[in-house]
Amino acid sequence: MLRLLLPVAGLATVLRAANISQRTFGIDYGCNCFVKDGRPFRYISGSIHYSRIPRYYWKDRLLKMKMAGLDAIQTYVPWNYHEPQMGVYDFSGDRDLEYFLQLADETGLLVILRAGPYICAEWDMGGLPAWLLEKESIVLRSSDSDYLAAVEKWMSVLLPKMKPHLYQNGGPIIMVQVENEYGSYFACDYDYLRSLQKLFRQHLGDEVVLFTTDGASQLYLRCGALQGFYATVDFAPGGNVTAAFLAQRSSEPTGPLVNSEFYTGWLDHWGHRHSVVPAQTIAKTLNEILACGANVNLYMFIGGTNFAYWNGANMPYMPQPTSYDYDAPLSEAGDLTEKYFALREVIGMYNQLPEGLIPPTTSKFAYGKVHLQKVGTVVEFLDRLSPAGPVKSTFPLTFVQLKQYFGFVLYRTKLPKNCTEPTQLSSPLNGVHDRAYVSVDGVLQGILERDKSLMINITGKAGANMDILVENMGRVNYGRYNNDFKGLVSNLTLDQDILVEWEIYPLDIDGAVNHSIHGYPDRPKRSVGNPVSYETPTFYTGTLLIPGGIPDLPQDTYVNFPGWTKGQIWINGFNLGRYWPARGPQLTLFVPRNILVSSVPNNITVLELEHSHCSTQACEIEFVDKPVINATTQLFALQEPSAFFFNHLLQLKRSLQKGCTVP
């Protein structure tokens, strides 16, 4: 099934090789259209982020997109996914962008590449690498010389790789987006955009169409558009299509109309309701857009998953969950939905739908309950999680100062005095980024949380170890708060006194999960006299056996966490992401089949940060065949609506407009 390719596409690839000089793509301002190979061309595209889908499933998802009648896909390139440390590049495995482009090409899909450097995307720090913050005062997305130097270096690696994949060079990339919604950013630095223009032209040549995307309002286009980039807009269904395109016309009086992000659904935040947008609303506005002869990209066509630690966050601090389902036409797991078929109907009115079978929804399997065992707390495993030992510092250091960018860091200090009565531990400057699990000599004291809980009471004896495990829950991806430092970013106080003399343990949990936590025969030694509470962050392990005698196993599945609170889960060393059923709306995590094996037991490691049922009830997680991503158990009201929400929700409220009156 996965090997099925459209024969036409294969043939075209062969022919192109001999005919490269005929391959052109550009803008015709006379016909208000794109021109491809000398003929007017309009695209209907869909967003898919290769970084949110296992490589194993790229072909399946692309083929489903092709079968929906799309001409093109649009994808972001997350810089921090490819340059995890300054000067260290990774384009292998799930990060093999060139292979992804090749698959799109073989499937008969053109590519609209959103090359960054900033992408937003509900992705950690909007795709910018956290190591940029080593210069604390850096002004991201501006002409700041250190920022620009890093961008130039990265683009000199990325863009030469992309050049052979440009349409005129025989590849699928028809257009390249520079930056993203720059007009929504405070800096409004035209010199920065000019530097990017020079850089992209230098590496990609003069022929390729470079474009920008901004909110559909002159307010955004003012700082987002620049001579030399083609200005496109983004807007939601249900709004006034004519008004939105007239905003684009304020920057581009002639040329093709383009909605670069037509929202098929919407993003989620932990503790808020799951977003759902009805298929009918989207189908209706899509029809209006296409009736205008406009080009459109459906954002997202498939959302996928924020595996590991890749989710971003909005302000006031609201991190996004692991699922990036987005209520898109293809579900997180690539399932065909009603929305898929509704939109395919609309697309079929304008494009010829390809012949052939739509790859079916993959089967999901309910493997059932898996018993887990406590293996030890983070503190008990400290020597294995932090082999180099602690960094000593009078005042706390941030993740970036420790050169650890993701996950967890343990901050330890000794109580300077007897706290026999409840004593206030607080973060007066709201500097716990983002969540801190506090214990004294192994006894849980409470949790501090950014923007939500800045003070707890603790008790303990003078000289006792106070351990504060700080979780980075994802960097802000939108707006002026991109410089999102993690860890304890300001001093903590006990009563009124600043706590000093810290031992700070960088933690390589992902490395330890692969090597020394799972199946380690002897449990870590407990220091005598220290009562250990399993309410403090604790590792649990177990194994999942794939049953024999059933054809086509392993299949995809979802893991459910009955009685668990908040944590992180790995299967065979693959970091599936965060779970937080206590807050929701997401209860289950997607487990793609490619990380499971049937030959030997699959090793599961869970890091539960708060508490499980394990001391009183069955210590189990459960593999089920249906996702639950819409159950908000602890609802936080939306605070001050940011400009971010305002921009997009406003458009939803506007009434509908029939026909097309855009010149």
Ligand X SMILES: *[C@@H]1O[C@H](CO)[C@@H](O)[C@H](O)[C@H]1NC(C)=O
CB of 171: closest distance to ligand X in angstroms? Answer: 13
Of the residues 197, 490, 533, 565, which one makes contact with ligand X according to CB under 6 A: 490
CB of 273: closest distance to ligand X in angstroms? Answer: 8
The residues in 307-366 that bind ligand X, with binding defined as CB under 6 A, are: none
Counting contacts by CB under 6 A, is residue 519 touching ligand X? yes
Quick one: 386 or 603, whose CB is closer to ligand X? 603
Of the residues 1, 349, 631, 635, which one makes contact with ligand X according to CB under 6 A: 631
Kindly tell me the burial class for residue 375, based on how many C-beta atoms sit within 10 Å of its own C-beta (0-12, 13-18, 19 or more).
buried
Quick one: 179 or 434, whose CB is closer to ligand X? 434
Counting contacts by CB under 6 A, is residue 422 touching ligand X? yes
Of the residues 218, 351, 401, 491, which one makes contact with ligand X according to CB under 6 A: 491
Quick one: 115 or 607, whose CB is closer to ligand X? 607
Quick one: 145 or 457, whose CB is closer to ligand X? 457
Q: Is 181 a catalytic residue?
A: yes
Cα–Cα distance between 98 and 233 in angstroms, integer? 27
Alpha-helical regions (H) of 490-578: 509-512
Residue closest to 327 by CA, chosen among 253, 264, 369: 264
User: And the tokens for 512?
Assistant: 């330890």
Of the residues 189, 195, 573, 594, which one makes contact with ligand X according to CB under 6 A: 573
Q: Which residue has the tokens 């499980």?
A: 612
Residue closest to 353 by CA, chosen among 361, 362, 363, 343: 343
Kindly tell me the burial class for residue 454, based on how many C-beta atoms sit within 10 Å of its own C-beta (0-12, 13-18, 19 or more).
middle
Strand partners, 337: none
Which one of 98-106, 316-324, 355-363, 508-516 is the stretch in contact with ligand X (CB under 6 A)?
Answer: 508-516
CB of 339: closest distance to ligand X in angstroms? Answer: 12
Cα–Cα distance between 92 and 82 in angstroms, integer? 9
Which one of 25-33, 110-118, 213-221, 566-574 is the stretch in contact with ligand X (CB under 6 A)?
Answer: 566-574
Counting contacts by CB under 6 A, is residue 7 touching ligand X? no
Cα–Cα distance between 590 and 580 in angstroms, integer? 14
The residues in 211-240 that bind ligand X, with binding defined as CB under 6 A, are: 240
**Catalytic, out of 261, 380, 608, 610:** 261
Give the 3-state DSSP-derived string for 328-345, with helices as H, strands as E and coil as C. CCECCCCCECHHHHHHHH
CB of 554: closest distance to ligand X in angstroms? Answer: 11
> Quick one: angle between helices 58-67 and 97-106, nearest 10?
40
Of the residues 1, 455, 545, 550, which one makes contact with ligand X according to CB under 6 A: 455
Which one of 152-160, 212-220, 313-321, 414-422 is the stretch in contact with ligand X (CB under 6 A)?
Answer: 414-422
**Catalytic, out of 106, 181, 332, 471:** 181
How many of the chain's residues bind ligand X (CB under 6 A)?
40
Of the residues 597, 638, 650, 652, which one makes contact with ligand X according to CB under 6 A: 597
Q: Is 608 a catalytic residue?
A: no
Of the residues 139, 169, 657, 660, which one makes contact with ligand X according to CB under 6 A: 657
Chain mean position to CA 514: 23
CA distances from 239 to 54, 298, 322, 586, 658 (A): 34, 15, 29, 29, 11
The DSSP secondary structure of 175-200, one letter per residue, reads EEE-SSSGGGSTT--HHHHHHHHHHH
CB atoms within 10 A of CB 529: 6
**557-560 β-sheet, strand order:** 368-371, 620-624, 557-560, 589-591
Binding site for ligand X (CB under 6 A): 12, 15-16, 19, 22, 37, 240, 242-243, 246, 395-396, 417-418, 422, 455-457, 461-462, 490-491, 498, 510-511, 514, 518-519, 572-574, 597, 600-603, 630-631, 655, 657
The catalytic site residues sit at 181, 261
